[in-house]
Amino acid sequence: MKKRTLLLGAAIAAGTASVAASRRLVSRWAKNPDPLGGKPAAFPGGEQRFIELPDGARISTVTIGSGPTIVCVHGLTASRNDWGPMAPALLDAGFRLIAVEQRGHGDSTSGSAGYGSAQLGQDLSIVLQQLDIHAAALMGHSMGGMAAMAYAVDDPEQFNERVDRLILIGTAASLVIPGSAVGFKLSGIAIPDWLKPSNRRLRVGAGLSVFGKNPSLNMVDQAVESASKLPEDVRALATSALGAHNVLDRVGQISKPTLVIGGTRDLLIRPSQVRELAESIPNAELHMLPDAGHMLIWERHPTITDLVTSFIGPVLEAAPSPEPKSG
């Protein structure tokens, strides 16, 4: 009895210490500078168009701005709003942005073909064709980068016709190697009712796994809220499908200049996987951002915007604009 009481007391003490540590962590995050400026991450309003896919999915695209085109493809459990922090500076730099919301995410519907990276790449192929995109920079974060890679290797003729530059952020060419994709698999676990965005446990888990060294509490809450909006069946199916993503033996076929960006504290896509990706693409330029996590497009959005602008600006500024269609 005494031993049981001691064990119970130890468990209570450990739980109390855990609660106290979590509170201190959240309190510290609340004091950190916020790259989002205390605001929600939101993509600017623009012209929305839906692309119908053969399996019944409807892909939402939003276009804003004029000039050289950047097609922006978000990651798992996200939406076009993930590009919100980067959008104003890119628009000011003279780019046209097209945000593509992947099947089952944001305003897009799921369809019946599944969520593997090959299917997502096929979706991009159809979307760029339907939107009559040429001379574009294709920019993907995480799952969006996997979709872009699949598009490049599975439909190289159309990819080379429509894409001039490839930008891959916080992503990998393969998730099938031992020990990889753990974070993606964990993110597929259903969120129970008692674990919602305002809950301390979910806040702490998201802050520690998705962000780098010094996240702001607003960023953590925004990430949790975004993930909570995704239907649980989409989350589970998409994470399971991504576990089979593997184009590592084919990305060497990509001939377009490629910018690869990663964070040194990314726990979902390991820095070694980002480096492996860059080393596997002949014309790749690699930038690893110190202390940045998986959501580096929020954490370091000014730095990434500068890298993107420098990488694609001179080339795309020289590209002719598409001739208006007659009739």
Each residue of 135-169: pLDDT tens digit? Answer: 999 999 999 999 999 999 999 999 999 999 999 99
Instruction: Sheet containing 136-141: give its strands across.
Output: 47-52, 58-64, 96-100, 69-73, 136-141, 163-169, 258-263, 284-289
Mean pLDDT of the chain: 87
- CATH number given to 41-183+245-317: 3.40.50.1820
pLDDT of residue 23: 86
From residue 86, give the alpha-carbon distance in Å to each of 17, 36, 72.
Answer: 39, 10, 10
**Structure token digits, residue 264:** 């040194």
Distances (CA, A) of 7 to 4, 12, 15, 19, 114: 5, 9, 12, 18, 48
Q: What pLDDT score does 323 carry?
A: 44
Report pLDDT for 202.
79
pLDDT at residue 31 greater than cutoff 70 = yes
Q: How many residues are there in the chain?
A: 327
Q: What is the predicted pLDDT for the residue at 22?
A: 83
What SS3 class is residue 319? coil
**pLDDT tens by residue, 155-204:** 999 999 999 999 999 999 999 865 544 544 554 455 555 444 446 677 89
Tens-digit pLDDT profile for residues 54-82: 999 999 999 999 999 999 999 999 999 99
Q: What is the pLDDT of residue 199?
A: 60
User: Once rounded to an integer, what is the mean pLDDT over residues 298-308?
Assistant: 98
Q: What is the pLDDT of residues 81-136, one digit of tens each?
A: 999 999 999 999 999 999 999 999 999 999 999 999 999 999 999 999 999 999 99
Could you give the angle at the alpha carbon of 229 between the alpha carbons of 39 and 187, nearest 5°? Answer: 100
Q: What is the pLDDT of residue 186?
A: 52
Q: If you average pLDDT over residues 282-306, what whole number do you get?
A: 97
Q: What pLDDT, on a 0 to 100 scale, did the predictor assign at position 20?
A: 78
Task: Tell me the range of 41-50, 198-207, 306-315 where mean pLDDT is highest.
Answer: 41-50
Lowest mean pLDDT among 18-22, 187-191, 277-281, 284-288: 187-191
Alpha-carbon gap, residue 279 to 283, rounded angstroms: 9
Overall average pLDDT of the 31-49 stretch: 96
- Residue 309 pLDDT exceeds 80: yes
pLDDT at 261 over 80: yes
- Cα separation, 264 vs 30, in Å, equals 23
CA distance 183 to 85: 24
Structure tokens at 151: 């598009």
